[in-house]
Amino acid sequence: MILDSFRLDGRVALVTGSTRGLGQGAAVALAEAGADVVLLDRGDAAETAAAIAAAGRRAHRIRLDLGTATPEQLADAVAETVAELGGIDILVNNAGIIRRAAAAQHPATDWDDVLAVNLDAVFHLSQAAGRRMIAQGSGRIINVASMLSFQGGILVPGYAASKHAVAGLTKALANEWAASGVTVNAVAPGYMATDNTAPIRADADREASILARIPAGRWGTPGDLQGAFVFLASDAAAYVTGAIVPVDGGWLVR
């Protein structure tokens, strides 16, 4: 049956940035589809772990700040995933940060902080997980891109650069690893009602201009992305790789 190909029973996922928002939504969705989930976050993912347990799946928490983690620490997180839950079949690189400042005055520390979390950690975790997935002949890596993987935005040069790079990295890894049974894709959320967009939503004029361009007429929610995460993690997407999938309420086609 076709619906069976969307099931994730017996698989193990590692999700970054999983205390709230899109990462929490992804982790819970994967668990509801049958996966056990490791939650990697600098904060306390107890709420997400409880939701996973309520879905009848196992959860394991790893406290780690991706902004300061070394490649070795990220490889250790993958090794801990394997040791605690028995393997790694799915990696969701969701964690991301944003710093807003005009490009001419953008602090170097903001640039470095954003690239460390949004790009460097994505590569090093993908590399560590990818090695294991290649060895076992299967795996799913799902990166979180952005509308700013396609556009430039304003006041966020580091974020835009990092999300363009995530799209490029997704394609590069997909090219190298497809023959080994490992797919690498990305979801590109539109304007989502999360902590990252709180300053924009608090600006009445800016929020109105954004809503006017979204054909769906509303901000997205973490729930709007759950289906895409499950699909890309599943056997139903076995022949999908190198794709950047917009989930944006029609923003890009307006």
Catalytic residues: 159
Instruction: Give dist(CA 195, CA 139) in Å, integer.
Output: 30
Task: Write out the two tokens for 122.
Answer: 């994505």
Which residues pair with residue 246 across a beta bridge? 188
Number of helices (H) and strands (E) in the chain: give both, helices first: 9, 7
Residue count of the chain, please give it.
254
Task: Write out the two tokens for 116.
Answer: 């460390």
Answer whether 224's CB lies under 8 Å from 247's CB. Answer: yes
Residue whose token pair is 């795996």: 139
Task: Write out the two tokens for 198.
Answer: 């709180």
Instruction: Give dist(CA 141, CA 175) in Å, integer.
Output: 13
Q: What is the C-alpha R_g of the chain?
A: 17
